[in-house]
C-alpha cells in the first residue's frame, strides 16, 4: 500500500491494474445511449495523472541508475590507475 504524501490524501488510492479493470461507469440519462461522459472523463484524467506520476518515477530511477553507473565507472578507472602506478613503482 502506498502511504499518503503531502500531495494526496489517505482516501485517494493510486490506481492498480485490477482496479482499472474493475472500473464501471454509470449509464447516461434516459434518452441518451452510452456511458456517462463526465464519469468517463474524470476516470481518464485520474488514469492519466497516475501514469504521469509513474512515468516520472521511472525517469527519476533511470537518471539515478545512470549517476550510480557513472560513479562506479569513475571509481573503477581510479582504482585501475592506482594499481598501474603501484605496479610501476615496484
**pTM assigned to the model:** 0.58
Confidence of residue 7 (pLDDT cuts 50, 70, 90): low
Instruction: Name the one residue in this structure whose C-alpha cell is 464519469.
Output: 39
Higher pLDDT among residues 2 and 9, named by residue: 9
Beta-bridged to residue 27, according to DSSP, are 35
Would you call 35 exposed, middle or buried from its count of C-beta atoms within 10 A (0-12, 13-18, 19+)?
A: middle
List the beta bridge partners of residue 35: 27
pLDDT, mean of residues 23-34: 81
pLDDT band per the 50, 70, 90 thresholds, residue 8: low
In degrees rounded to 5, what are phi and psi of residue 47?
A: -60, -45
Amino acid at each position: 500500500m502506498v502511504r499518503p504524501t503531502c500531495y494526496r490524501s489517505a482516501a485517494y488510492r493510486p490506481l492498480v491494474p485490477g482496479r482499472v479493470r474493475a472500473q464501471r461507469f454509470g449509464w447516461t440519462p434516459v434518452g441518451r445511449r452510452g456511458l456517462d461522459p463526465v464519469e468517463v472523463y474524470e476516470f481518464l484524467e485520474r488514469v492519466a495523472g497516475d501514469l504521469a506520476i509513474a512515468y516520472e518515477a521511472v525517469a527519476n530511477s533511470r537518471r539515478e541508475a545512470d549517476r550510480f553507473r557513472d560513479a562506479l565507472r569513475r571509481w573503477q578507472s581510479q582504482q585501475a590507475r592506482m594499481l598501474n602506478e603501484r605496479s610501476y613503482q615496484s
